[in-house]
Amino acid sequence: MMRLNTYLLFKGQCEEAIKFYHSVLGGEISAMMKVAGSPAEPHFPPESKNEILHAALGFEGSSILASDCPPPMYEKMLGASICITLDNEKEAERLYKALSEGGEIIMAMEKTFFATKYAQFIDCFDTRWMIHCA
């Protein structure tokens, strides 16, 4: 068995982002481990103790995994997007509205030759998304 999961890196907003994604997408937060108290704590600067070492938001057969990234190593996501595929136009519109709020619209939700609803955007946490409704 093989599963492919998305692993996101944040610049200090991992906990906020995962809780937001959970509120919009549902699923189950199965991990939210802080640097403080973990075996890795001695390897991090003291100002990182409240950052997230590892988080997991699980869905049926897939997960969004995430952590905070040390500032000098953080780079915005380029060349990849999380693609949500749905068959319900109202749900596609709801997710688009909620996830894109405060972000940057690359392609507003519209009908295309390959989808009844399709959109591309970057959310307020710098995560790139596609919503595809067939």
- What's the angle, vertex CA 43, arms to CA 42 and CA 47, rounded to 5? 80
Averaged pLDDT, 1-12 = 91
59-77 pLDDT, tens digit each: 988 999 999 998 778 888 8
Domain that holds residue 57: 6-73
Assess if residue 1 is contained within a domain: no
72-113 pLDDT, tens digit each: 788 888 899 999 999 999 999 999 999 999 999 999 999 999
Q: How confident is the model at residue 57 (pLDDT cuts 50, 70, 90)?
A: very high
Reported pTM: 0.93
Place of tokens 């969004």: 64
Count of the separate structural domains present in the chain: 2
CATH number of the domain that residue 125 is part of: 3.30.720.110
97 in the same domain as 62: no
What is the Cα–Cα distance from 82 to 121, expressed in whole angstroms?
A: 10
CATH number of the domain that residue 57 is part of: 3.10.180.10
